[in-house]
Amino acid sequence: MRLSAANLSALPASVARPGYDRDTRGVGIVHFGIGAFHRAHMAAYTDDAMASGEGDWRILGVSLRSPTVRDQMHPQDGLYTLVERSLEGSKARIIGSVADVLVASEERERLVATLAAATTHIVSFTITEKGYCRAPDGSLDLALADERSAFAYLAEAFSRRRDAGLPGLTLLSCDNLSGNGAQLRRLMVEYLGAHAPDLTGWFENECTCPSTMVDRIVPATTNADRIEIEALLGMRDEAAVVTEPFSQWVIEDNFAGPRPAWEKYGAQITSDVHAYENAKLRMLNGAHSALAYLGLQRGHEFVHQAIADPQLAPLIDKLMRDEAATSLTPAPGQDVSAYADALIDRFKNPSLNHRLAQIAMDGSQKIPQRWLETLAFHKASGQQCPSILTAIGAWLGHIRGDNGVVDDPMAETLKAAWDAAGKRGIVVALFGSDGPMASDWVSSDAEQEQIIAALK
Ligand code: CS2
């Protein structure tokens, strides 16, 4: 038996089901990049909103490339299980907020028509860092954007909305970029400038791009997870998602039209997300990437193993407290030291089996906002960041191939830099002003020495 609308009534009583009649709720949100992260985060908040009586906020999920999620969810009427795992055990609920999933290139007209519908108000994104198609200098890489991105579908929908006299949309980025809303807005404007300049004014006047800070650890679901969940449900769920109990969502109050009252279900709506976003990127994600490269170097497989390693734990603690936290300007009431404590506890959760290899992916896209902004901040006052420099050394080993195949959109460029520059020259070749990782951080000779010394 497979999870589906028809089979909901056969689930055991211990598994919570959607608390509303799904068929009566219309689609109000289109979400690009419907991976496990969205299904553990925004889709759950939206499910809560509809269970409390809010109306037409079902989500049309979109995959830009792979048909996998569509093939998992379409036969299940968009239903899936969300399992929260902690030391105390597992809690499962069925989420009903996803109406359906489509692959953009296969159902272009249905996608654009939904984006252009009067009933659609929000378009959200978890397309990962590389989905924004940024060139190394941060501008839009048009060739990449033309090859495969959300921009073209959005532009076509904007044109239809404008011509029909409909209001604009809220574009809600839920990815780990600093100032994710502002970046999305700038890239969208660049795309329109190249392909549909007559729409730029409409977009700027009618649409908004709030920044958000999203936080929940969501390991990729494994087959072992699916088998365990099948025993719990008494039926198969190909789209099940496993996550931690913790969840946080801070959203800038800047919507073009209606939205679910997500703040009633745990989200924070604020005028300034920036402080939370930087704390999350530099402390949580910065520590995560360091655990990934240093942990893999030391033979670990999972985050909870790496954080238990007595060689790594103090380094991670210093990275978060002495290097990342001191680069921040906390918002009133934001306690970065308590945040570091909580993060270490979350990393230790042994029931998640969060693979280091998952975090190690796409380092070239992640490192700038996780490590380099911290380094650049401290450069001005001359403060040293030995933990981040050690982590950079581990990343350089990773992209050299020390841990096997390198999963990164820049893998070839990074490998070519290694071949050309070798160990003595690699730091400048990559991070120097002409390198593909150039940033506001300019390394000193002493820092280069430290990084090279950390290379195996
Ligand atoms: C992780 C994040 O894979 C990664 O790079 O650092 O996905 C992290 O788990 C989330 O941002 C937590 O909110």
- The reported pLDDT for the residue numbered 456 is 75
The one-letter code for the residue type at 379 is K
User: Do residues 182 and 288 share a domain?
Assistant: no
Distance 358 CA to ligand 1 centre (A): 9
Please give the average per-residue pLDDT across 27-54, as a whole number. Answer: 98
Q: By three-state DSSP, how is residue 412 classified?
A: helix
Do 71 and 181 belong to one domain? Answer: yes
144 within 8 A of 193, measured Cβ to Cβ: no
Cα–ligand 1 centroid distance for 365 (angstroms): 13
Which atom of ligand 1 is the closest one to the Cα of 216?
13
pLDDT of residue 239: 98
29 shares its domain with 42:
yes
Q: Final residue of a domain: which of 270, 292, 310? A: 270
Q: How confident is the model at residue 187 (pLDDT cuts 50, 70, 90)?
A: very high
Q: Is the CB of 288 under 6 A from ligand 1?
A: yes
Identify the pLDDT of residue 272.
Answer: 85
HSE-up (13 A, CA, CB side) for residue 377: 19
Query: Which among 285, 296, 408 is the best mutation to test ligand 1's pocket, defined by most ligand atoms within 8 Å of the CB?
Result: 285
Q: What percent of the chain has a predicted confidence (pLDDT) above 90?
A: 97
Same domain, yes or no: 295 and 259: no
Span 324-348, mean pLDDT? 96
**Is residue 88 over pLDDT 80?**
yes
CA 177–ligand 1 middle distance (angstroms): 11
Judge if 319 and 252 occupy the same domain: no
Read off the pTM. Answer: 0.97
Whole-angstrom distance, CA of residue 362 vs CA of residue 399: 10
Q: State whether the beta carbon of 281 lies less than 6 angstroms from ligand 1.
A: no
Residue nearest to atom 4 of ligand 1 (CA): 359
Q: Does residue 204 share a domain with residue 322?
A: no
- Is the distance from the beta carbon of residue 216 to the nearest atom of ligand 1 less than 6 Å? yes
Q: Residue 439's domain is classified under what CATH number?
A: 1.10.1040.10
Do residue 351 and residue 288 come from a single domain?
yes
Number of domains into which the chain is organized = 2
The answer to whether the CB of 367 is under 6 A from ligand 1 is no
Instruction: Select from 69, 58, 65 the least CA-distant residue to 34.
Output: 69
In short, whether 300's Cβ falls inside 6 Å of ligand 1 is no
Ligand 1: residue whose CA is nearest its atom 11 = 215
Per-residue pLDDT reduced to its tens digit, 445-456 = 999 999 999 997
- Residue 357: domain span: 274-454
Nearest to 410 by CA among 34, 33, 134, 32: 134
Residue 414 and residue 399: Cα distance in Å, rounded?
A: 7
Domain stops at, among 248, 270, 292: 270
Asked whether residue 265 falls in the same domain as residue 202, the answer is: yes
Is 124 in the same domain as 153? Answer: yes
Pairing mode, strands 89-95 and 80-86:
antiparallel
The token pair at 126 is 């978890």
Q: Is 358 in the pocket of ligand 1 (CB under 6 A)?
A: yes
With a pLDDT cut of 70, the percent of the chain lying above it is 100
The CATH number given to whatever domain includes residue 119 is 3.40.50.720
Say if residue 326's pLDDT is above 90: yes
Say whether both 121 and 265 belong to one domain: yes
Judgement on whether residues 288 and 264 belong to the same structural domain of the protein: no
Query: Do 448 and 354 reside in the same domain of the chain?
Result: yes
Give yes or no for residue 425 having a pLDDT over 80.
yes
Specify the residue with its C-alpha closest to ligand 1, atom 9: 217
- CA-37 nearest atom, ligand 1: 7
Nearest Cα to 178, choosing from 267, 265, 270, 283? 283
Please say which residue of 251, 270, 289 terminates a domain: 270
The tens digit of pLDDT for each residue in 49-84 reads 999 999 999 999 999 999 999 999 999 999 999 999
Average confidence score pLDDT of the chain: 97
Closest approach atom of ligand 1 to CA 288? 6
For residue 352, report the distance from its CA to the centre of ligand 1, in Å: 13
- Please compute the mean of the pLDDT values over residues 305-333 and round it to a whole number: 97
Instruction: Using the predicted structure, report yes or no on whether residue 317 has a pLDDT greater than 90.
Output: yes
